[in-house]
Copies of this chain bind each other. A is one copy, B any other.
Amino acid sequence: MKKLINNPNDVVRESLQGMAIAHPDLIKVNLDPHFIYRADAPIKNKVAIISGGGSGHEPMHGGFVGMGMLDAACPGEIFTSPTPDQMLEAAKVVNSGAGVLNIVKNYSGDVMNFEMATELALSENIRVLNILIDDDVAVKDSLFTQGRRGVGTTVLAEKICGAAAEAGYDLKQIADLCRKVNLNGRSMGMALTSCTTPAKGSPTFELDNDEIEFGIGIHGEPGRERMAMTSVDEIVEMLAINIIEDVGYSRIVREWDEVKGEWQEVELIDLPFEHGDRLLAFVNSMGGTPISELYIVYRKLAEICEQKGLKIMRNLIGHYITSLEMQGCSITLLKLDDELIKFWDAPVKTAALRWGI
């Protein structure tokens, strides 16, 4: 294994220390338990937004902490869920009294630990709501999930909800907005190569020189199918059609009911993409795929959307939710309305996303 690291056990801590030194105007880093938070937190009267998950997906989530996006991010070890004490301590630091929204990617460990952290925070009189992101159409249940996995839509939800929090939305409104983003966003990814975690030191999985993993998970977990390598145009066609035609997915999720003071099971159903819809198209590198190839992906994706009568109004193209050095890409499509466009366009100032300021 060759990586720009010292001891594999120190990777997450040293990377966080580097971030803290690089961006003192934006963020502070707490170690033990690990969390990154806005340098100016808590922001008076503003709902705080927290996300987190295993490390190895950078810049998500730590690179998204700052004005107009996250108040805090809780990084676990690489590809490992963060623990409830990280989320609880982060909530204590960033909560201004207006409450905390946790944006949780649907992986069993993340879900369990964010629920536990929610109960701990509630017991300390911090208002908390959790919203799940489960947008990956590749597999319905997987190695680390019940139901679909949470991937690219998370980045978009963090941007949009962060802007809504700046605009003065209250906790319930932001939770509703986040749920809406999830029900309107769908993703799928593929891998050309595996990645290697520092702890294991060898590739997470093996792919032959003429094979791809279609529907890959962001931890290298199996996708839908191992298939023969083909052209990017065919790959994009398969990803896009799977995303666009995945209609009406229904799941039961647990959300905290503030009135009843207990977890409720709620049925949520995806909304379709239909002719004439406005979209945000997000083309993401899994890490090792260069940006030049992402634009070739985008070229074909735009053509397919046009053929389907889907209007791409906004896009995001780059390295945003990665799997270490894995080569491959993911596509996320998010159906937009005026509210989502307004919050997408709002100013943001983080290490990884910055505009308008």
Most buried by B among A193, A210, A290, A322: A290
**Once bound together, how far apart are the Cα atoms of A3 and B193, in whole Å?**
10
Taking chain A's interface residues, is the majority helix, strand, or loop, or is none over half, making it mixed? mixed
Asked if A2 contacts B58 (CB within 8 A), the reply is no
What's the least CB distance linking A111 to chain B, in Å? 24
**Once bound together, how far apart are the Cα atoms of A299 and B21, in whole Å?**
7
Asked if B58 contacts A4 (CB within 8 A), the reply is no
A4 CB contacts on chain B under 8 angstroms: 192, 232, 235, 289, 293-294, 296-297, 328-329
Instruction: Report the stretch among A10-18, A96-104, A164-172 that lies at the interface.
Output: A10-18
Instruction: Report the stretch among A41-49, A268-276, A349-357 that lies at the interface.
Output: A349-357
What's the least CB distance linking A272 to chain B, in Å? 25
Number of copies: 2
**Once bound together, how far apart are the Cα atoms of A226 and B59, in whole Å?**
31
A315 CB contacts on chain B under 8 angstroms: 22
Asked if B18 contacts A295 (CB within 8 A), the reply is yes
Asked if B319 contacts A6 (CB within 8 A), the reply is no
Known contacts A325-B290, A356-B357: A14-B193 contact under CB 8 Å = no
Interface residues on A, range: 35 or more
- Chain A residues near B (Cβ < 8 Å): 2-6, 11-12, 14-19, 21-22, 55-56, 58-59, 63, 192-193, 209-210, 212, 229, 231-233, 235, 287-299, 302, 315, 317, 319, 322, 324-325, 327-329, 349, 351-352, 354-357
**Interface pairs A-B: 9 shortest CB-CB:** A18-B295, A18-B299, A4-B293, A288-B288, A4-B232, A2-B192, A58-B292, A18-B298, A15-B292
- Apart from the given pairs A2-B212, A55-B292, 15 other A-B contacts in the complex at a CB distance below 8 Å: A3-B293, A4-B192, A4-B232, A4-B296, A5-B293, A6-B231, A6-B232, A15-B299, A16-B295, A21-B298, A56-B290, A287-B288, A288-B325, A290-B325, A356-B357
20 contacting pairs across A/B (C-beta < 8 A): A2-B209, A2-B229, A4-B294, A5-B293, A5-B296, A6-B231, A12-B292, A14-B299, A15-B295, A18-B294, A18-B296, A18-B302, A21-B299, A56-B292, A58-B291, A59-B291, A63-B291, A290-B322, A291-B319, A325-B327
